[in-house]
Amino acid sequence: MSDALSELLATRDWLLADGATGTNLFNMGLSSGDAPEFWNVDHPDRIRALYKGAVDAGSDIFLTNSFGGNASRLKLHDAAHRAHELSRISAELGRDVADASGRKVVVAGSVGPTGEIMGAVGTLSHESAVEMFEETAQGLKDGGADVLWVETISAPEEFRAAAEAFANVGMPWCGTMSFDTAGRTMMGVTSQDFVGLVDELPNPPLAFGANCGVGASDLMRTVLGFTATGTERPVIAKGNAGIPRYEDGHIHYNGTPELMAQYACLARDAGAKIIGGCCGTMPEHLSAMRAALETQPREPRPTLEQVAEVLGGFSSDNDGTGDMSDAPKRERRGRRRS
Amino acid sequence: MSDEEDDIILSELDDDELVEQMFDDLYDGMKDEIVEGVNILLERGWQPYDILTKALVGGMTVVGNDFRDGILFVPEVLLAANAMKGGMGILKPLLAETGAPTIGKMVIGTVKGDIHDIGKNLVAMMMEGAGFEVIDLGINNPVENYIDKAAAEKADIIGMSALLTTTMPYMKVVIDTMKEQGIRDDYVVLVGGAPLNEEFGKAIGADAYCRDAAVAVETAKSLMARRHNQAGMA
């Protein structure tokens, strides 16, 4: 229990995580298609500015610029061999910013998906995935990250591989999946499935939850699904600032700081303990979220109707949980042994 | 799972039962059984094109519908597509020999600046599953890749994918270039990717935005049918 995140979790009612990495970096001039992780070396000042933006807006936790810092993603930029280096430096820069903040701020080493498909018809084996995650994790550890933080995962196999890698490097960790397909992950995992998956791990995370996905309302439905199971493990909510809209050749997220402030309080009231944003969430959103969490009194657990009323409707009628967990199954003919 | 583990011998089923069983086997991603089923139908004198459309495409339509309706998810669809591929391995050379009509040809790729490909791969697999011929351009494609390849392959459809909000505007660059060259209407243009929506598809002048791989297949089929009708009337 000596890590920085466990200490904060033990003493605080809620923690504010950070917002977008990509959206912020694109605003600083990153070209689409370039690997953001290169900036850890090429533009460390901008990465410090990214981190500082979140810290100054009141984040207690921020994620490092290492989302694509695994061999599989970096390979696409001919930089597979730089996974450890780029991850380590992302954490070193984070350490500097956190230590200079004058308060306890957690540096969470971001670990993103490999982008490969695992499982029966996949191309990536469990062993290779563990090896890749371990390389990134070791870099983040060497750079001084307080915890590891795997995010935007859709496949249970990949989540387990990351957990195993984190055990191998001996670091506390958090993990979030992305529920973007009819309330489930792309691979069909429901919020309830994920609670079961997390509980069965030999080295369970300090906290688990959802990030990215569709909009803030869908993410809230997922959070309500987690907490409905009665799980005691801290829940993370990191939703997008609304939904991207195309206007005059540019992309805007339609979530205003006011909306994200309401989302933050709803997430807290739904039982989430670590609350932040994802794509489109800028420092001004984080400031509004922090102010709301500090000033708005806790309300009863919101219903789905209340969530929809405040944040907008859901992308699908149901999310495969509750009454729908034994929903439509196809009539089977007689089976056959081969 | 059913408890009645009736042993079914594929070769003892009549044609209708066998096709129905193949639907189930595709649904369950049973590759060996699909290969066996295709071979039995060939032995019974079925035309390769009929096997493709009635048994395989028929079965994949069920898979596609359940994927669209949130009953099946990506892992099951990948298994089904893999089983379909087993059957196609046998049929493809035979189809080429018999000069059977193709359902349509698609050039697909992730746009310039974007290196994400899971969604695009899934669409390619489902389109193949539906009997389309698919030419996969891979990731990070500049406008020339789409236009040159579509022309060289005499494609019917150009499909573009993007996962990033920063790369999706490039789709408009491709469509605008096609307009400048006066070839926009030679192709059906389909777009897809997580941050897109219908409004965006319309705004950039695509024929359709496809929410997922199943919708892509359905949309491609209906737009191809419309094109054929128009060609017939002309």
In chain B, residues with a C-beta closer than 8 Å to the C-beta of A76 are 115, 139
In chain B, residues with a C-beta closer than 8 Å to the C-beta of A26 are 166
Take residue A226 and report the two structure tokens written for it: 């987690």
Distance from the Cα of B154 to chain A's closest Cα (Å) equals 29
CB half-sphere exposure, A213, CA atoms < 13 A:
34
- Does residue B33 sit in the same domain as residue B115? no
Residue A329 pLDDT: 54
Exposure string over A199-226, b if 16+ CB within 10 A, otherwise e: eebeeebbbbbbbbbbbbbbbbbbbbbb
CB half-sphere exposure, A166, CA atoms < 13 A:
27
Edge-to-edge strand ranges of the sheet holding B133-136: B133-136, B105-110, B157-161, B188-192, B208-209
Within a domain: B127 = yes
Residue B214, domain extent: 105-233
Over the stretch A12-34, which tens digit does the pLDDT of each residue have?
999 999 999 988 998 898 876 77
Which chain A residue has the Cα nearest residue B8?
Answer: A336
In chain B, residues with a C-beta closer than 8 Å to the C-beta of A38 are none
In chain A, residues with a C-beta closer than 8 Å to the C-beta of B27 are 330
Q: Which of B98, B115, B142 is the last residue of a domain?
A: B98
Output the CA–CA distances (angstroms, integers) from residue A107 to A5, A52, A66, A223, in the order listed: 9, 12, 12, 23
Name the 3-class secondary structure at B66.
helix
**Is there a contact between B69 and A188 (Cβ–Cβ < 8 Å)?**
no
Assign residue B52 the CATH number of its domain. Answer: 1.10.1240.10
- Pairing label, strands B188-192, B208-209: parallel
- Domain limits, chain A: 4-325
Within a domain: B4 = no
Which chain A residue has the Cα nearest residue B165?
Answer: A251
- Does residue B109 sit in the same domain as residue B219? yes
CA-wise closest residue to A62 among A20, A100, A30:
A20
Edge-to-edge strand ranges of the sheet holding A274-277: A15-16, A274-277, A235-239, A207-212, A173-177, A147-153, A106-111, A61-63
Take residue B22 and report the two structure tokens written for it: 């193949």
> Which residues are A85's β-sheet partners?
none
Out of B30, B112, B212, whose CB is closest to A33? B112
Cα-based angle B192, A278, B208 (whole degrees, multiple of 5):
15
What is the number of CB-based contacts under 8 A between chain A and chain B? 117
Distance from the Cα of A93 to chain B's closest Cα (Å) equals 26
Q: How far apart are CA B218 and CA B213, in angstroms?
A: 9
Query: How many structural domains are present in chain B?
Result: 2
* Cβ within 8 Å, pair A333-B21: yes
Q: Which residues in chain A show pLDDT less than 50?
A: 337-338
Binding site residue list of A for Zn(2+): 212, 278-279
* Region class of B154: left (phi > 0), else alpha (psi between -120 and 50), else beta: left
Question: Which H or E run includes A127?
Answer: helix A126-142
- Does residue B223 sit in the same domain as residue B122? yes
The interface pTM score, or ipTM, of the predicted complex is 0.78
Output the CA–CA distances (angstroms, integers) from residue A126 to A14, A38, A164, B87, in the order listed: 35, 27, 10, 28
Residue A269 contacts by C-beta under 8 Å, 6 or more apart in sequence? Answer: A298, A299, A300, A301, A302
- Does residue B125 sit in the same domain as residue B53? no
Q: What share of chain B is helix, strand, coil (3-state, %, to 5)?
A: 60, 10, 30
Q: How far apart are CA A131 and CA A69, in angstroms?
A: 13
Which chain B residue has the Cα nearest residue A243?
Answer: B195
For an interface test with B, which of A251, A278, A318 has the most B Cβ atoms less than 10 Å from its Cβ? A251
How is domain A4-325 classified at the architecture level of CATH? Alpha-Beta Barrel (3.20)
For an interface test with A, which of B12, B21, B74 has the most A Cβ atoms less than 10 Å from its Cβ? B74
Residue A216 pLDDT: 92
Q: Which of B68, B98, B128 is the last residue of a domain?
A: B98
Within a domain: B1 = no
Q: How far apart are CA B114 and CA B142, in angstroms?
A: 10
Exposure string over A254-265, b if 16+ CB within 10 A, otherwise e: ebebebbbbbbb
Residue A325 pLDDT: 54
For an interface test with A, which of B165, B171, B173 has the most A Cβ atoms less than 10 Å from its Cβ? B165
Distance from the Cα of B200 to chain A's closest Cα (Å) equals 6
Residue A123 pLDDT: 85
Within a domain: B3 = no
Q: How far apart are CA A276 and CA A289, in angstroms?
A: 8
Out of B73, B167, B169, whose CB is closest to A249? B169
- Does residue B91 sit in the same domain as residue B155? no
Q: Which of B98, B126, B142 is the last residue of a domain?
A: B98
Name the A residues in 161-200 with CB < 8 Å from any B CB: 180-182, 184, 186-188
- Does residue B127 sit in the same domain as residue B15? no
Distance from the Cα of A1 to chain B's closest Cα (Å) equals 37
Out of A26, A184, A335, whose CB is closest to B166? A26
Out of A73, A180, A187, whose CB is closest to B75? A187
For residue A230, report the phi and psi dihedrals to the nearest 5 degrees: 80, 15
Residue A249 pLDDT: 66
Name the A residues in 247-266 with CB < 8 Å from any B CB: 249-251
Q: Which residues in chain B show pLDDT less than 70?
A: 1-6, 231-234
**Sequence-ordered strand ranges (E) for A3-128:** 15-16, 61-63, 106-111
| Position A335, amino acid | R
- Does residue B169 sit in the same domain as residue B145? yes
Residue B3 pLDDT: 47
Within a domain: B61 = yes
Assign residue B210 the CATH number of its domain. Answer: 3.40.50.280
Distance from the Cα of B234 to chain A's closest Cα (Å) equals 36
Take residue B31 and report the two structure tokens written for it: 């590759």
> Rounded to a whole number, what is the largest CA-CA distance in chain A?
67
- Does residue B211 sit in the same domain as residue B122? yes
- Does residue B213 sit in the same domain as residue B177? yes
* Region class of A119: left (phi > 0), else alpha (psi between -120 and 50), else beta: left
Q: How far apart are CA B159 and CA A7, in angstroms?
A: 50
- Does residue B145 sit in the same domain as residue B227? yes
- Does residue B180 sit in the same domain as residue B136? yes
- Does residue B125 sit in the same domain as residue B200? yes
CA-wise closest residue to A281 among A322, A310, A309, A252:
A252
Take residue A152 and report the two structure tokens written for it: 């935007």
Residue A230 contacts by C-beta under 8 Å, 6 or more apart in sequence? Answer: none
Q: How far apart are CA A4 and CA A332, in angstroms?
A: 52
Q: How far apart are CA B147 and CA B67, in angstroms?
A: 31
Name the A residues in 86-115 with CB < 8 Å from any B CB: 115
Within a domain: B5 = no
Exposure string over A297-328, b if 16+ CB within 10 A, otherwise e: eeeeebeeebbeebbbebbbebbbbeeeeeee
pTM (predicted TM-score): 0.87
Within a domain: B131 = yes
Residue B195 pLDDT: 81
Q: How far apart are CA A126 and CA A8, in angstroms?
A: 33
For an interface test with B, which of A121, A178, A179 has the most B Cβ atoms less than 10 Å from its Cβ? A121
Residue B234 pLDDT: 46
For residue B28, report the phi and psi dihedrals to the nearest 5 degrees: -90, 5
Name the 3-class secondary structure at A159.
helix
Residue B229 pLDDT: 76
Residue A16 pLDDT: 98
- Pairing label, strands A61-63, A106-111: parallel
Q: What is the DSSP string of A236-248?
A: EEEE-SS-EEEET
* Cβ within 8 Å, pair B78-A330: no
